[in-house]
Chains A and B, each alone.
Chain A
Amino acid sequence: MSESSKFSPEEITRIRSLVKYYQESMFEKADRDAHNIAGHFRSKPLANLIHSIKTRAKDPSHLEDKLFRKLTASKLEGGKEFDITTENLVERVTDLAGVRLLHLHTQQFPEINAHIKSLLHEEGYLIIEGPEARTWDDEYRKVFEFHGIATIASERLYTSVHYIVQTSAKSKRTIEVQVRTLAEELWGEVDHSMNYPVPTEIHACKEQIKVLARLTSSCTRLVDSIFSTKGAAEKLKQ
């Protein structure tokens, strides 16, 4: 891999041994954790608001990339020590297990959030971070803030709500839960394939991905509008 040249043999060995540990001792657990939490989310009434659920345990090669990035970052931060070990890996990398809930439009989110919180509470999961909404759209920022959800500006034009959930304080294993609309998923998938693990350097692609963000945001907004129009029309009928 391209990083190899930038790191000492000791650093490479260290990261590879973390990845090996993950692959041999944690991967199956992460996979099970992701499936288990998705199982709770598939129950009604939350299921009525959700289009589909994706689960995954982090691919070992993606973990390797991430750890090399973290190592680079710690070097750039003025010799700050890279201190990830097999003991704290599950605490330091909080997306080894991941679940993504896809829905149609943003106005559904407050209700989805309420169900997620109560389900996790009932089943004894701990929400240790979030929900945090990453958004670059001022109108949606207000929607989230109105419902008491913290927002983070996203220069990359990334849009999604994140939670970090712990299976138990004892195990310290975490699951990253993401909630986004189908249109946001389209943008996210295109962005991911162009910019991951190495950001594209093609100017036109960078430009078009930014335009796509505006289009997909408009799609979500349009779906919101369609449903609110339908709701208003039905009210009038009564």
Chain B
Amino acid sequence: MTNEPNKQSRYRAPRLAIFNHKGGVGKTTLTVNLAFAIAEKGFKVLIVDSDPQCNLTSYLIEEAVVDDLLDNSDSDQGATIWSALKPIAEGTGETKVIPAIEVSTNLFILPGDIRLAEFESELAPLWNECFKRKLRGFRGTVALSALVNAVAEENGVDLVLYDSGPNIGPLNRIILLDCDHFIIPAACDAFSLRAIRTLGHALYEWVGDWQTIQELAPDNVYLLPGLPKLLGYVPQRFRVYASRPAAQFASFLPRIEKTVVEDVITVLARLNAVLVSSAAHPLKLAEIKDFSGQATAAQEEGVSLWTVRSGTPAQRADAQSDFQAFAAMVLRRIGVTKQ
């Protein structure tokens, strides 16, 4: 262990997570297509596949390449997120910077790995070491953020998108604390409302704990910003008939909005007003239709919902305009503009 002052500094690009610990809310589809839409606007986007299920990696990278990446990730030539973080998880050294893969114009991915779960299991003890003010704890807790700094800088990225697994675990804790912003994708059902409630309270705890840890931290240690600002929510998978959401889904929209206000915004505002400073009206950032058949095909082809071969031209145009509007809204809220 060295006593060199940590020279790490945060790379300028804002970081965003589309986060809900409830699965099946279309996180990956939403993240990928938002990334495609932003890349089309001429911004460089880095997607970090930080979900050990690596759905996003298999979405964007062809199967043979993914197999190769995963087969070699534990070796010295490894090039997945696990290869990068393995020295931290095993306590053998510093993070190894790996190259991002450019999957299409302006769109980069940091490939995920099933073995990232092994890094995650080290994160809980590392978190406790932060409370004991041990440098090892700080170094491990910020390792992913430091990796993103290096990879984003190397590619001159304008925006970083994290894709996270559907749980409230130690990995998602460091991801959310590394993000400048987050969006809640919500399905139109009762479980989703319950999930939003626990999400607000988990975030409250994480941000509060991180404040304590920051106060304990030695000088010159690179720290997570720890203030993820809510941008809003995106209701998912509701069916649309004659341009209007079907009745059973429509009835859920005000309930989602109410839960976000009461159990996320009000809760986080108690901690720090900054956390909700980007949650302007409207909170609903987009309405994403159920593109089910099209989404499956897009995933297989590794393309956006509007460049996929399946579906009708009208469906593709619909998908494109939905995501372009969503992307424009996100960029405006985050404050990313053309230089």
Say yes or no: B133 contacts A167, CB within 8 Å.
Answer: yes
B336 located at the interface, meaning its Cβ lies under 8 Å from any Cβ of chain A in the complex: no
Which of A36, A122, A171 contacts B3, CB < 8 Å? A122
Give the CA-CA distance A167 to B3 in the complex, in Å.
15
> Which chain B residues border A40 with CB–CB below 8 Å?
134
Q: Using a CB-CB cutoff of 8 Å, which residues 152-206 of chain A contact chain B?
A: 167-171
* Distance of B125 from chain A, by nearest CB (Å): 14
Give the CA-CA distance A122 to B1 in the complex, in Å.
8
B283 located at the interface, meaning its Cβ lies under 8 Å from any Cβ of chain A in the complex: no
Chain B interface: which size bin?
10 to 19
Residue-by-residue, is A30-46 near B (CB-CB < 8 Å gives 1, otherwise 0)?
A: 00110111011000000
A123 located at the interface, meaning its Cβ lies under 8 Å from any Cβ of chain B in the complex: yes
Which residue on B lies nearest to A173, using beta carbons?
B215
Give the CA-CA distance A170 to B214 in the complex, in Å.
11
Say yes or no: A36 contacts B216, CB within 8 Å.
Answer: yes
Say yes or no: A122 contacts B219, CB within 8 Å.
Answer: no
> Which chain A residues border B215 with CB–CB below 8 Å?
29, 171
A121 located at the interface, meaning its Cβ lies under 8 Å from any Cβ of chain B in the complex: yes
> Which chain B residues border A122 with CB–CB below 8 Å?
1, 3, 135
A21 located at the interface, meaning its Cβ lies under 8 Å from any Cβ of chain B in the complex: no
A124 located at the interface, meaning its Cβ lies under 8 Å from any Cβ of chain B in the complex: yes
A125 located at the interface, meaning its Cβ lies under 8 Å from any Cβ of chain B in the complex: yes
What is the interface of chain B mostly: helix, strand, loop, or mixed? Answer: loop
Say yes or no: B218 contacts A168, CB within 8 Å.
Answer: yes
B292 located at the interface, meaning its Cβ lies under 8 Å from any Cβ of chain A in the complex: no
Say yes or no: A168 contacts B134, CB within 8 Å.
Answer: no
Question: For B1, B131, B218, which residue has the most chain A Cβ atoms within 10 angstroms?
Answer: B218
**Given A122-B1, A123-B135, A167 contacting B216 (CB threshold 8 A):** yes
* Distance of A119 from chain B, by nearest CB (Å): 11
B221 located at the interface, meaning its Cβ lies under 8 Å from any Cβ of chain A in the complex: yes
> Which chain B residues border A171 with CB–CB below 8 Å?
215
Give the CA-CA distance A37 to B216 in the complex, in Å.
11
Which of B1, B132, B218 contacts A167, CB < 8 Å? B218
> Which chain A residues border B134 with CB–CB below 8 Å?
39-40, 123
Question: For A35, A123, A125, A167, which residue has the most chain B Cβ atoms within 10 angstroms?
Answer: A123
Q: How many A-B residue pairs have CB under 8 A?
A: 39
Which residue on B lies nearest to A38, using beta carbons?
B132
* Distance of B219 from chain A, by nearest CB (Å): 5
> Which chain A residues border B133 with CB–CB below 8 Å?
33, 36-37, 123, 167
Interface size of A by Cβ–Cβ distance < 8 Å? 19
Q: Using a CB-CB cutoff of 8 Å, which residues 130-169 of chain A contact chain B?
A: 167-169
B69 located at the interface, meaning its Cβ lies under 8 Å from any Cβ of chain A in the complex: no
Say yes or no: B219 contacts A124, CB within 8 Å.
Answer: yes
Say yes or no: A124 contacts B216, CB within 8 Å.
Answer: no
* Distance of A128 from chain B, by nearest CB (Å): 12
Q: Using a CB-CB cutoff of 8 Å, which residues 199-247 of chain B contact chain A?
A: 215-221
Give the CA-CA distance A33 to B131 in the complex, in Å.
10
Say yes or no: B132 contacts A36, CB within 8 Å.
Answer: yes
Which residue on B lies nearest to A166, using beta carbons?
B219
> Which chain B residues border A29 with CB–CB below 8 Å?
215
> Which chain A residues border B221 with CB–CB below 8 Å?
124
Question: For B133, B134, B217, which residue has the most chain A Cβ atoms within 10 angstroms?
Answer: B133
Say yes or no: A168 contacts B217, CB within 8 Å.
Answer: yes
> Which chain B residues border A121 with CB–CB below 8 Å?
3
> Which chain A residues border B1 with CB–CB below 8 Å?
122
Which of A32, A35, A39, A125 contacts B218, CB < 8 Å? A125
Say yes or no: A124 contacts B135, CB within 8 Å.
Answer: yes
* Distance of A39 from chain B, by nearest CB (Å): 5
Say yes or no: A123 contacts B216, CB within 8 Å.
Answer: no
Residue-by-residue, is B1-31 near A (CB-CB < 8 Å gives 1, otherwise 0)?
A: 1010000000000000000000000000000
> Which chain A residues border B218 with CB–CB below 8 Å?
123-125, 167-168
Residue-by-residue, is B273-309 near A (CB-CB < 8 Å gives 1, otherwise 0)?
A: 0000000000000000000000000000000000000
Which residue on A lies nearest to B136, using beta carbons?
A123
> Which chain A residues border B131 with CB–CB below 8 Å?
32, 36
**Given A36-B133, A123-B135, A124-B135, A170 contacting B3 (CB threshold 8 A):** no
Give the CA-CA distance A171 to B219 in the complex, in Å.
9
Say yes or no: A124 contacts B132, CB within 8 Å.
Answer: no
> Which chain A residues border B220 with CB–CB below 8 Å?
124
> Which chain B residues border A37 with CB–CB below 8 Å?
133
Give the CA-CA distance A167 to B135 in the complex, in Å.
12
Which of A33, A36, A39, A170 contacts B219, CB < 8 Å? A170
* Distance of B274 from chain A, by nearest CB (Å): 19
Which residue on B lies nearest to A40, using beta carbons?
B134
Q: List 9 A-B contacts (CB under 8 A).
A: A33-B133, A36-B216, A37-B133, A39-B132, A39-B134, A122-B135, A123-B135, A124-B135, A167-B218
Which B residues are within 8 Å of any A CB, using their own CB? 1, 3, 131-135, 215-221
Q: A123-B133, A123-B134 are in contact. List 11 more A-B contacts (CB 8 A).
A: A32-B131, A32-B216, A33-B133, A36-B216, A39-B134, A124-B3, A124-B220, A168-B218, A168-B219, A169-B219, A171-B215
Nearest 7 interchain pairs by C-beta: A124-B218, A36-B133, A168-B219, A169-B219, A39-B132, A168-B218, A36-B132
